[in-house]
Chain A
Amino acid sequence: MRFFLKNWVPFLAVGAAFATVPFMGLPAFYESFLYLVFHWIVLATSWNLLSGYSGYFSFGHAAFFGAGVYGTAVLAGKLGWPFLATLPVAAAVPALLGVGLGAVVFRLPALRGELFALITLALMFVFATIVLNTPLDGGPGVYMSNVAVPALAPSPSGSFYLMALVLALATVGIAYSVYRARFGSGLFAIHDDEDVAEVMGVPTYRYKLAALALSCGLAGLAGGIHSVFVSYVTVGETFSGWMALNVILMAALGGTRHWAGPAVGATAVTIMTFYFTTSDYAIAGRALVGLIFIVVILFMPNGLLGRFAVRKPLATQASAAAVVQTNAVQEKTEEPILVVRGAKKAFKGVQALAGVDLEVRRGEILGLVGPNGSGKSTLINVVSGHYPIDGGSMVFEGRELAGEAPHRVARSGIARTYQIPRPFAHLSVLENVALPPMFGQVAMDRARAESEAWRWLEFTNLSAKANRLPGELNLHERKFLELARALASRPKLIFLDEVLSGLTPSEIDGAIRTIRAIRDQGATVVFVEHVMRAVMELTDRVVVLTNGRSIAQGAPREVMRDQQVIDAYLGTARA
């Protein structure tokens, strides 16, 4: 109840206040102007749901808007349907088209960034051509003046105003909900590092499709309403490249990482350009908008609301889940938790893994050592699903991992750190650590996940920096952030990739204690390291990799005295 009062009541109050405008007897001009503001708020905010949150910049918003325009234009203008009945179609058709496009394009990792932008740009032109050359439009445009406008207000312009107001409130409300929820966390993670997000358990494919569907559906609704507002619909006016620029500018100006950013930007730009479009300087106005766009992209990449880019935490340190104190310490066992047989992986002619066999036993700390380039990081990458394996099998607790989507591997209880830390750069330290609990084995909501995250921040001594961005941490802290993030999903098996490199001797001592505590709390640890002192002190068993194969396994002291291992590791001196 408190949540509702705190967040939604002000929202609805604002909406109610605006809703009284048509009944105040003002000239129609005000209603029409505000209609335009709401119209652009919807378009910019809906664009931002996919493109701002997830980073998949779409240049094709006009395509989906146009699909909605023509949905209503054809059904109401040509086939005589009642206007309100066309709106579900105006929303559904673009949403389905978007999902169709996304189902194909999102499967191809190569089509991110600029390629996605270009494909969506071409899409607009394709839709325009189809509409122009079929009975949907055919060329002469569609007259909508016969369509009855629902009488929601004393005048037609008032009715449009109200419809646009409702849609704007709904759109911004959706943007806000997504922003606060797990869905938003997942999208922001995809924005910063999609591959890592996937490995942390975010179902990236599904989330991108959902965001795209929402984005297209809302744009389509705006289009449906707009078709009757303009009362004469043409292909040229509807599918305009100009709109793509406008929408991106509005969102970028306001701030793409904030739910209210596009709304702020839309209001600012609409007011600004209004002066130009109604005067003789329409063309100069367009050029000015282009210039502002350039300036914003170059100098204000975070937009006006950029200062608020980091989301407020939903849980405070006080609510940190208590550390479970038990006297029972997990012991190493003989039972295998992960069995790798014949793992093979090649990159562009380099055989990184040439048939690796190894076994990890539940409760042990296993050291994975070997010279640089021997395949240690690659092994971690294929087990965690970061790269698909070429051949061989990896069985975790009886389940074959080869061929599994990475986010499923995370869900089954495997976590890893990255040798060079890869935190989500625009998420706070707290949000970074809260991500795996949200999407891991126990899928928690954001508030609970953040409580869980606080616990791990305390464990790794990062509590003081919880609300900072990862870029503000030093190397040691960033390595521990990696560690906290990997631990936060309470994995059964955790891979630590060179967490100690670059640390001072006393920091290494502390890290050794921490790693032992991790095992004691119930995780099995595989530990890739060059710092031999740590390997000797910590590990129960050691596996040596060379040239993509495992050449020795056993107790650390014996393995490291094996001549073959010494040769591989240190290199033989010239005879």
Chain B
Amino acid sequence: MLEARQLRAGYGAAPAVWDVSLDVGEGDLVVVVGPNGAGKTTLINALAGLHRMESGSLRFAGRDISSLPAHRFCDVGIALVPEGRRLFTGMSVRENLEIGAYRGAAKAHREASLQRVIARFPMLGERLGQLAGTLSGGQQQMLAIGRALMAQPRLLLLDEPSLGLAPTIVMEMFRIIREVNQEGVAVLLVEQNVAMALDLARRAYVLEEGRIVAQGAPQDLASQPHIQRAYLGH
């Protein structure tokens, strides 16, 4: 469904990501792991249209989206949960969710989507009028996911959702991501929390210094000494 080929993106002279090719199929659950500075955020921002690709191609559901303007990515069915949440902190929980369903197709079903998101995250339902900036880290992450779900996406992109969160909240969040995937939404997740990410995924890519250095089934990757040393030091 999503095909990236020889993607190259960066800032000025130095590309942060180059020669990256990856696939996400319908209903797939794919994970990209890698150390800090590997280029994970640049990669996912390029896939979401937030960052201009310098070269390479990007196709979604058979359609070439390489030169689509940023505000059109949502239309084709891609929704983003950005790194650090990036909620609209001056707006209420409800308003944040409503922006998620701003685009035409999703707008028609906005109320229904809202009810479904509240059902999934009851804690958000209790705080609809509260300013997003006053929520705790875990609540903000849930809101960010809820906002993306409001767009009724076919592909959900998540950038380091476990960042700065307590382990129990991370577990809960991964459970929800698994549920969403089981309902038919494809998921591409970029993560530092290697153990949980590999446990969640069906397929994984390892990104180091801007390039894909390994890919395959999670259990195969986890047992590689490469990953053990990179993350545990032994």
Contacts and interface: CB of A to CB of B under 8 A. Distances in A.
Determine direct contact between A and B, CB below 8 Å: yes
Interface string A371-401: 1110000000000000000000000000000
A572 B195 contact: yes
Interface in B169-221: 170-171, 174, 192-196, 198-199, 209
Contacts of B136: 349
Nearest to B175: A574
Interface string B1-43: 0000000000001100000000000000000000111000000
Given A567-B167, A572-B195, A574-B171, A533 B137 contact: no
Given A501-B35, A570-B195, A573-B195, A532 B230 contact: yes
A348 interface: yes
Contacts of B165: 373
B196 A572 contact: yes
A537 B170 CA distance: 31
B232 A566 contact: yes
Interface in B144-184: 160, 162-167, 170-171, 174
A468 to B, nearest CB: 13
Contacts of B230: 532-533
Contacts of A563: none
A278 interface: no
Contacts of A567: 167
Contact of A560 (B162, B163, B167, B232): B232
A532 B133 contact: no
A570 B209 contact: no
Contact of A350 (B35, B137, B233): B137
A135 interface: no
A547 interface: yes
Contact of A570 (B36, B137, B193): B193
A333 to B, nearest CB: 25
A500 to B, nearest CB: 9
Contact of B234 (A349, A475, A502, A557): A557
Contacts of A148: none
A133 interface: no
Contacts of A349: 133-134, 136
B183 to A, nearest CB: 19
Contacts of A163: none
Given A533-B229, A570-B232, A372 B163 contact: yes
B14 A475 contact: yes
A504 B36 contact: no
A502 B229 contact: no
Contacts of B174: 574
A530 interface: yes
B201 to A, nearest CB: 12
B78 to A, nearest CB: 25
Nearest to B168: A572
A571 B209 contact: no
A431 interface: no
B36 A536 contact: no
Contacts of B193: 371, 570-571
A474 interface: yes
B163 A373 contact: yes
Interface string A514-534: 000000000000000011110
A571 B196 contact: yes
A475 B16 CA distance: 10
B124 to A, nearest CB: 17
Interface in A525-575: 530-533, 535-536, 547, 556-557, 560-561, 566-574
Nearest to A529: B36
B232 A532 contact: yes
Contacts of B13: 474
B234 A570 contact: no
A498 interface: yes
Contacts of A572: 167, 171, 195-196
Contacts of B231: 532, 569-570
A317 B198 CA distance: 52
Contacts of A533: 229-230, 233
Contacts of B36: 372, 498, 501-502, 530
A518 to B, nearest CB: 21
Given A532-B232, A570-B231, A572-B196, A547 B37 contact: no
B234 A372 contact: no
A478 to B, nearest CB: 10
B14 to A, nearest CB: 6
Interface string A344-371: 0000111000000000000000000001
A373 B166 CA distance: 10
B137 A532 contact: no
Contacts of A561: 234
Contacts of B195: 570-573
B181 to A, nearest CB: 15
A571 B162 contact: yes
A569 B233 CA distance: 12
Contacts of A531: 35
B196 A573 contact: yes
Given A372-B160, A502-B37, A531-B35, A348 B233 contact: no
A187 B199 CA distance: 53
Given A536-B234, A566-B232, A570-B231, A474 B14 contact: yes
Contacts of B233: 532-533, 535-536, 556, 560
B39 to A, nearest CB: 9
Contact of B167 (A502, A535, A557, A571): A571
A298 to B, nearest CB: 21
A74 B171 CA distance: 77
Nearest to B38: A502
A532 B136 CA distance: 30
A111 to B, nearest CB: 22
Among A502, A536, A557, A571, max chain B CB count under 10 A is at A571
A498 B35 CA distance: 12
Nearest to A372: B163
A443 B131 CA distance: 48
Among B134, B136, B162, B167, max chain A CB count under 10 A is at B167
Contact of B229 (A373, A501, A532, A574): A532
Given A567-B167, A571-B167, 4 more contacts: A536-B233, A547-B166, A560-B234, A568-B167
9 contacts: A350-B164, A372-B163, A532-B229, A532-B230, A535-B233, A570-B193, A570-B231, A571-B170, A571-B195
Closest 7 pairs (CB-CB, A-B): A373-B164, A532-B233, A502-B37, A501-B37, A571-B193, A571-B196, A501-B36
